Structure 1
Amino acid sequence: MSSSERASSAALRTRSPTPSSAAPTTGITIYGCGPDEAVLFRELAPRCGVTPTITEAPVSEANVDLAFGNRCVSVGHKTRIANPTLLALRRAGVEYISTRSIGYNHLDVPYAESIGVAVENVTYSPDSVADYTLMLMLMVVRNAKSIIRRTDIHDYRLDDTRGRELRDLTIGVVGTGRIGAAVMDRLRGFGCRVVAHDNRPGDSAEYVPLDELLRLSDVVTLHTPLTADTRHLLDRRRIARMKHGAFVINTGRGPLLDTEALLSALESGRLSGAALDVLEGEEGIFYADHRDKPVDNKPLLRLQELPNVLISPHTAYYTDHALSDTVENSILNCLRFESGNQHG
């Protein structure tokens, strides 16, 4: 077992629910389960009175038979689940899907509900994504990509562009749920001005309309869910309203940004840089090894060529603590459903 798996297991030993709260005959089929998740499911599930059926393959019409006899399944977020697969799951007797993610955009929730399948997400440590967001923010305003590339080829001269300090900047946080709020908590320690936008404002930030946030902010960071209303939230029109020389951070969902509009603004110099952990069209590319095969996403390739753009493969959530939370809460969601105590 790797050190990360040992750490995750240790965390679970201290935070596991008591077995008495679980029905001893509950079965859960776990689809799209990576090796690190499988270690945790195999350790925690028996303690909760759960018999897990685990497969690394994403759920599909070809493998719904693995769910026969189980009303609940747990699915990953890395592969889209087509409606025919949802229907096949229902016909196999599945009534509940726990998705091991905060977002739902990889499956059609209204369709699932229309055929009698309830869908619920999981919560996990917001600190995982919040920490990563701050790391990307610091890296992009300090030109880390260019600096690291130079030192990798033993060029130790100072970069042509000086970095900026967060205390001198205004940071705009779009979406102030658990992750956005955790980002704001961290930003306060840097002494910068923070402005926020959310359809349901809280009381611990300076909330402004979105266009005002774009006008004011030196850095805009996106933490809103992906819905029909937020798809291309930053489109060509809104990007044109951003402060000249601003930076964009996206650790939310790729389609929150219009990639072509972002590219135009970066290539023209209107924006100074971007750090993206998520991207439009990432499906089938992120989480796979493409060293010996072509990448079929031209905007991604154009972005990676730019010296002021950082790309990472949807990894902000991926920490020991968050993975433990995800596995544990996926099991607990299924147990609550089985006991009739579903929660919204």
Structure 2
Amino acid sequence: MGKTGIAIYDCDEHEAQLFRTFAAQYGVEPTFIASAASAESAALASGHRAVSVNHKTEITHATLRALKAYGVAYICTRSVGCDHIDLEAAEKLGIAIGNVAYSPASVADYTLMLMLMAIRHARSVLRRADIHHYRLCAVPGRELRDMTVGIVGTGRIGQAVIDRLRGFGCRILAYDICPRAEAEYVTLGELLRQSDIVSLHMPLRADTHHLLDAKRIRGMKRGAIVINTARGPLIDTPALVQALEEGRLGGAALDVIEGEEGIFYRDCTDRPIRHPLLLRLQALPNVIISPHTAFYTEHALRDIVEATIRNCLAFERAKGELVT
């Protein structure tokens, strides 16, 4: 009996090497496709029932229809979220969709880093040091133990952030429609009114799109800092920019942003950025932007690759035991 084949779209060489290592352990045959999954590249997956895609690429109805025509029956996204996949179309076409879980420590650690950078004005300090300007900042930083931190979403990552925050001695508030952590749960409105830092860890769904809308942003504590390492569309970006420019909010640290597609994960040093809100955010000294990189650790990548292979094998063996 031949090895199970998996077509893997758009992964870098480091990720590809992990696939080769785990493929040898699990007895599967990876086929690497350099391009992103699309209707045009679907033919490259011909002969494979299972394919792997990343979270960077929108998997549209047209893409799904083309993959189906070439025999694809299962798509495993190398991410927790599936908001980039047209799930309704996949169901109608009879294509099963799987996702993966990975070390929550990767995003949790990064979230804490962003919090600390934001309250200690790290962006300004480092930029000034780069030009040999070594005076102290005009405004001193703050300490987490003196602050209230609100965690919106207490799944695996939200809980990992809470665990880390306990060591800093700050007050922690939490909001989730399904409370599951040992934390002080309050309504979302109360969390926003009381928190000096608001950190988002909700999945992106229809009911969480623009969870932080203009009204809720107006209801936030004056001078509060927003942290987002989840999904960009959780925030109404124009409303956030306005609140920051007007000085109602004290800052933001964003690893994700609405409209990041086509910008993040690309070298844009020699091309114009056609995202006015991103440019306005980056012009503010109290805003930190990073390119959707919170998940990107060795440990998390190993988790992602191994879970992808195990999911594809489970589908091929018709066990339905998807590793999520």
Output the TM-score relative to the length of structure 1.
0.92
Work out which of the residue numbers 247, 259, 281 in structure 1 matches 2:225.
247
- Offset at residue 25 of structure 1 (A): 2.3
* Structure 2 residue 167 is matched with structure 1 residue 189: yes
- Offset at residue 203 of structure 1 (A): 4.5
CA distance in 2, matches of 1:260, 1:52: 43
Q: For 1:246-273, what per-residue CA distance to the aligned partner results, in whole angstroms no more than 9, with x for missing partners?
A: 0000000000011110011101110000
Partner amino acid, structure 1, of 2:101: T
* Structure 2 residue 176 is matched with structure 1 residue 173: no
Corresponding residue for residue 301 of structure 1: 279
Work out which of the residue numbers 203, 213, 226 in structure 1 matches 2:191.
213
Q: For 1:38-69, what per-residue CA distance to the aligned partner results, in whole angstroms no more than 9, with x for missing partners?
A: 11111211221111110221111122122222
Question: 2:40 aligns to what SS in structure 1?
Answer: helix
Question: 2:291 aligns to what SS in structure 1?
Answer: coil
Query: Is the CA contact (8 Å cut-off) linking 1:223 and 1:251 kept in structure 2?
Result: yes
* Structure 2 residue 294 is matched with structure 1 residue 278: no
Partner amino acid, structure 1, of 2:48: N
Question: 1:160 aligns to what SS in structure 2?
Answer: coil
Question: 1:262 aligns to what SS in structure 2?
Answer: helix
CA distance in 1, matches of 2:181, 2:27: 42
Partner amino acid, structure 2, of 1:183: V
* Structure 2 residue 90 is matched with structure 1 residue 90: no
Moved over 2 A (4+): none
Question: 1:62 aligns to what SS in structure 2?
Answer: coil
Question: 1:61 aligns to what SS in structure 2?
Answer: coil
Corresponding residue for residue 136 of structure 1: 114
Query: Is the CA contact (8 Å cut-off) linking 2:154 and 2:181 kept in structure 1?
Result: no
Question: 2:233 aligns to what SS in structure 1?
Answer: helix
What's the RMSD between the two structures over aligned residues? 1.0
Aligned length: 322
Q: For 1:152-193, what per-residue CA distance to the aligned partner results, in whole angstroms no more than 9, with x for missing partners?
A: 111100001110100000000000000000000000000001
Structure 2 CA distance for partners of 1:203 and 1:129, relative to 1, 3 Å: closer
CA distance in 2, matches of 1:282, 1:225: 17
Q: Percent identity?
A: 61
Work out which of the residue numbers 240, 243, 250 in structure 2 matches 1:265.
243
CA distance in 2, matches of 1:49, 1:148: 48
Q: For 1:131-165, what per-residue CA distance to the aligned partner results, in whole angstroms no more than 9, with x for missing partners?
A: 00000000001111111111111110000111010
* Structure 1 gap segments, 5+ residues each: 1-22
Q: For 1:174-223, what per-residue CA distance to the aligned partner results, in whole angstroms no more than 9, with x for missing partners?
A: 00000000000000000001110111101411111100110110000000
* Structure 2 residue 29 is matched with structure 1 residue 60: no
* Structure 2 gap segments, 5+ residues each: none
Corresponding residue for residue 211 of structure 2: 233
